[in-house]
Amino acid sequence: MEIVRCFVCVALGDEARRFLEIYVSGLRKCAPSIRWVSVAALHVTLKFCGEIPVETVERLSENYAGALRNVRPFRLSLEGLGCFPDLHRPTVLWIGIREGLENLVSLYDRVERASVSSGIAPEKRSFSPHLTLARIKNPKDMTSALSERIRESAAPGFSTAVSEAIFMKSRLTPDGPIYSPIRRYAFQNGKTP
């Protein structure tokens, strides 16, 4: 039986990626030893489905199409930096979302309902929309310079249009995951703000 590792996300457009490439390069200089996510791979995860049979992937693809019908484009803006679980025991460095939170929560609810109706286990954690910038395996790699940037936690001052969700396949490699779209769901019924 063929198994596919997959998730549903909101990806960023080219303009947002260009902005984040510059923004993240400044952060990388503060802590070069941590594992930085490729800017091309940055996204807001709506649902991680895990490793599932290809038949379930096909069913999910159709159910997501129904769940994401009539979604309007919206704007998303970035907020300050933070760490999961916290700054004292960091494992993930993230950038938060300010504008567009209600839209993302609505998308999450639609995707979660479609996932559960397709046999995917419901999410146990509350939805916390963010972009994962880096993974921190060794807390010693977290420098005081990066910790200071996180404490400042200023919004980078960038806003972008969101016009689609993507059902994404994820293949793990030693150099990091490789993502490829299974299906794209374009948002309709109005112009992108």
Q: Return the residue matching tokens 């309902």.
A: 113
Check residue 154 and give its pLDDT: 67
Q: Which of 110, 130, 149, 183 is catalytic?
A: 130
- Determine the average pLDDT of the residues in 179-192: 83
The whole-number average pLDDT for the span 149-173 is 89
- pTM of the predicted model, to two decimals? 0.92
Report how far apart, in Å, the C-alpha atoms of 31 and of each of 42, 83, 140, 165, 178 are: 19, 14, 10, 31, 24
Answer yes or no: is pLDDT of 51 > 90.
yes
pLDDT (average), residues 154-161: 80
**From CA 106, how far away is CA 101, in angstroms rounded?**
9
pLDDT at 85 over 50: yes
Residue pLDDT, tens place only, 111-144: 999 999 999 999 999 999 999 999 999 988 999 9
Q: 63 phi and psi, to 5 degrees? A: -65, -35
Percentage helix, strand, coil for the chain under 3-state DSSP, each rounded to 5? 35, 35, 35
Q: Which residue has the tokens 């994962």?
A: 132
Q: Is there a catalytic annotation at residue 130? A: yes
* Position 60 pLDDT exceeds 90: yes
88 is catalytic: no
What percent of the chain shows pLDDT beyond 70?
96
Q: What percent of the chain stands above pLDDT 90?
A: 84
> Would you say residue 158 has pLDDT above 90?
no
Catalytic residue among 43, 110, 149, 183: 43
The predicted pLDDT at position 189 comes to 62
Residue 153 has pLDDT above 90, yes or no: no
Taking the C-alpha atoms of residue 8 and residue 181, their distance in angstroms, rounded to an integer, is 10
Query: 3-186, superfamily in CATH?
Result: Cyclic phosphodiesterase (3.90.1140.10)
pLDDT recorded at residue 176: 84
The single residue listed with the structure tokens 């509350």 is 126
Mean per-residue pLDDT for 78-91?
Answer: 92
